């Protein structure tokens, strides 16, 4: 429970208005008030004692967030006032909502589709203006519309293919191979474009997880502070000061960058440091990007070389730190170890090269492109789009290689199911539970 200017107790379901009427004392009862009108009064307990001065309002089904009858009590935001109002509501037969239950009911009642429902949490967790704008567009249905259009094309094409298979004796015009291939290529191209834009839009929502790795005392914590322009991590001249994971988030070009400062990777000197080193290795493995921080004032050590050996097959950037002092490590030396690496000379102390390093991180994912503000996709939605692309490619191969229309129809069905799971046309309880458990209680 936190404190705020106003706290809202929301009740959804048949009888919500009458339940609040049993607690509310104002110039008129909610049952005498038109829906969507704020009414001034007080909430009282069973003894008639005033709990708080409030505003009360109700919404008639289906014209509410959930599509059900909804009533709200707007009380003062002190934790005790809200709690007391909630207790009185529960005492009269209501129950606590589960995580995301209001939005789940909105989906089940047809107010929004599943993609729109997931955009609600995107709005709540938006870390940048771009992410907020994209999530709002998704909530308004833009992403759903694009998915639905591709789904309709697939459905229409599938019906022609399956009709020929199911009723071969009927006089149904068959798709000529050339025309079928052309149409399926068009669908594949459109779906691939949508997936590509969804991938860039997913960065707005999920961000890029960046692990700062290196041996002790090379300046990882100083670099974290330089990224954030504040002293978030403790910095000393003693090697191994950072013993646990420190995580912070900043945004660059609208993309959340989730920085993870790790313990220096070396042979640990005690049990506590061993835990820190183990967690550092986990962070290195799980990160989207690894920034290998090198002390440019000292020759590379065996510990440095061990870290380099773990980076070859992973997206990474090499940051040669301490450029404000004479450098011993040269860029060519690093590139001889990691020929495909991007190397940036920086000084965490002065901030030199830090902005360029941020740009390098985002460029690994965006290249020279820009974020598509029209999409704010979850990892789940992006994976479904990728699976749909793969299924359509299999169908196209079936047409062009002579495998037959049976194989093509199976691929088209798989693609449609992927898009239907995005929209919630095909969604079982386990999928809904997975999605909505990440919501807060109030949504």
- Pair (311, 230) in one structural domain: yes
Both tokens of 343, joined, read 């190397």
Print the domain residue range for 317: 207-366
For 15, 69, 122, 304, 338, the CA distances from 64, given in Å and listed in that order, are 14, 7, 21, 60, 58
Does 316 reside within a domain? yes
- Pick the last residue of a domain from 96, 127, 159: 96
Cα–Cα nearest to 207, from 136, 256, 149:
256
Number of domains in the chain: 3
| Mean pLDDT for back-to-back runs of 10 residues, the chain (443 residues) | 86 97 95 96 94 97 96 92 95 93 94 93 87 90 94 89 58 65 91 89 86 86 85 43 66 88 56 60 76 92 86 86 90 86 91 93 77 78 96 89 77 94 87 82 72
Q: Render 45-59 in DSSP notation, one character per residue.
A: -TT--EEEEEEEEEE
Residue 272's pLDDT is what?
54
Query: Is 118 within the bounds of a domain?
Result: no
Q: Do 388 and 350 have their domain in common? A: no
Q: Is 78 part of any domain?
A: yes
Alpha helices in 8-100 (DSSP H): 16-21, 79-91
Same structural domain, 196 and 214: no
Residue 207 gets the label, from left (phi > 0), alpha (psi -120 to 50) or beta, of left
Is residue 101 a part of any domain in this protein?
Answer: no
Residue 252 lies in a domain: yes
Residue 114 inside a domain? The answer is: no
Does 11 map to a domain?
yes
The strands making up 342-345's β-sheet, listed across from edge to edge, are 246-252, 255-261, 208-213, 289-295, 316-321, 342-345
Given 96, 131, 153, the domain boundary residue is 96
- Alpha-carbon gap, residue 70 to 54, rounded angstroms: 17
Is residue 371 in a domain?
no
Residues 187 and 319 in one domain: no
How many other C-beta atoms can be found within 10 angstroms of the C-beta atom of residue 170?
8
Exposure string of 415-439, with b = 16+ CB inside 10 Å and e = fewer, is: bbebbbbbbbeebeeeebeebbeeb
Query: What residues form DSSP beta bridges with 265?
Result: none
CATH code of the domain in which 88 resides = 3.30.1360.120
Integer CA distances (angstroms), 212 to 196, 237, 332, in order: 28, 18, 21
* Judgement on whether residues 169 and 197 belong to the same structural domain of the protein: yes
Q: Indicate if 190 and 263 belong to the same structural domain.
A: no
> Does residue 225 share a domain with residue 313?
yes
Q: Is the peptide bond before 62 cis (omega within 30 degrees of 0)?
A: yes
Looking at 36, 61, 96, the residue that finishes a domain is 96
pLDDT at 243: 42
Predicted confidence at residue 346, as pLDDT, reads: 93
In this structure, the answer to whether residues 362 and 399 fall within a common structural domain is: no
**How many residues belong to the chain?**
443
The rounded distance, in Å, linking the Cα atoms of 45 and 88 is 6
Residues 249 and 283 occupy one common structural domain: yes
Q: Assess whether 215 and 332 both reside in one domain.
A: yes
Query: Any idea what the CATH number is for the domain that residue 265 is in?
Result: 3.40.50.300
Q: Exposed/middle/buried for 95, CB within 10 Å: 0-12, 13-18, 19+?
A: exposed
| 13/72 same-domain check | yes
**Within this chain, do residues 175 and 254 fall inside the same structural domain, yes or no?**
no
CATH number at residue 186: 1.20.120.430
The reported pLDDT for the residue numbered 340 is: 82
* Nearest alpha-carbon partner for 441 in 95, 110, 92: 95
Residue 166's Cβ-side half-sphere holds a number of Cα atoms within 13 Å equal to 7
Which position has the token pair 């093509």? 408
Q: Give the per-residue pLDDT at 372.
A: 61
């Amino acid at each position: 429970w936190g404190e705020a200017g106003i706290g809202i107790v929301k009740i959804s379901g048949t009888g919500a208005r009458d339940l609040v009427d049993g607690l509310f004392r104002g110039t008129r009862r909610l049952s005498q008030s038109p829906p969507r009108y704020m009414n001034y009064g007080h909430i009282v307990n069973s003894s008639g004692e005033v709990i708080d001065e409030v505003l009360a309002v109700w919404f008639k089904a289906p014209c509410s967030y959930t599509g059900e009858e909804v009533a709200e009590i707007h009380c003062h935001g002190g934790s005790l006032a809200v709690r007391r109002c909630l207790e009185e509501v529960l005492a009269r037969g209501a129950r606590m909502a589960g995580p995301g239950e209001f939005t789940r009911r909105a989906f089940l009642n047809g107010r929004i589709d599943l993609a729109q429902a997931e955009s609600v949490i995107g709005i709540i967790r938006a870390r940048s203006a771009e992410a907020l704008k994209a999530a709002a567009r998704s909530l308004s249905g833009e992403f759903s519309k694009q998915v639905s259009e591709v789904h309709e094309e697939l459905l229409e094409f599938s019906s022609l293919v399956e009709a020929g298979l199911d009723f071969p004796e009927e006089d149904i015009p068959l798709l000529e191979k050339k025309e079928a291939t052309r149409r399926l290529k068009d669908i594949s191209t459109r779906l691939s474009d949508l997936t590509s834009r969804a991938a860039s839009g997913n960065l707005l929502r999920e961000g890029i997880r960046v692990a700062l790795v290196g041996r002790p005392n090379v300046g990882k914590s100083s670099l974290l502070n330089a990224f954030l322009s504040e002293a978030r991590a403790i910095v000393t001249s003693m090697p191994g000061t950072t013993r646990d994971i420190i995580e912070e988030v900043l945004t660059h070009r609208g993309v959340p960058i989730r920085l993870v400062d790790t313990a220096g990777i070396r042979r640990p000197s005690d049990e506590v440091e061993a835990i820190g080193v183990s967690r550092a290795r986990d962070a290195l493995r799980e990160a989207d990007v690894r920034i290998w921080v090198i002390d440019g004032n000292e020759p590379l050590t065996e510990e440095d070389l061990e870290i380099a050996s773990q980076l070859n097959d992973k997206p990474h950037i090499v940051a040669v730190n301490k450029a404000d002092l004479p450098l011993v490590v040269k860029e060519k030396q690093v590139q001889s170890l990691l020929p495909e690496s991007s190397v940036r000379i920086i000084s965490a102390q002065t901030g030199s090269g830090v902005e360029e390093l941020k740009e390098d991180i985002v460029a690994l994912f965006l290249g020279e492109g820009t974020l598509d503000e029209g999409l704010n996709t979850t990892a789940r939605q992006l994976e479904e789009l990728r699976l749909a692309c793969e299924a359509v490619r299999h169908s196209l191969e079936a047409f062009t290689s002579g495998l037959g229309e049976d194989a093509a129809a199976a691929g088209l069905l798989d693609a449609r199911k992927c898009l239907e799971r995005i929209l919630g046309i095909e969604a079982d309880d386990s999928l809904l539970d997975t999605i909505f458990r990440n919501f807060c209680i109030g949504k």
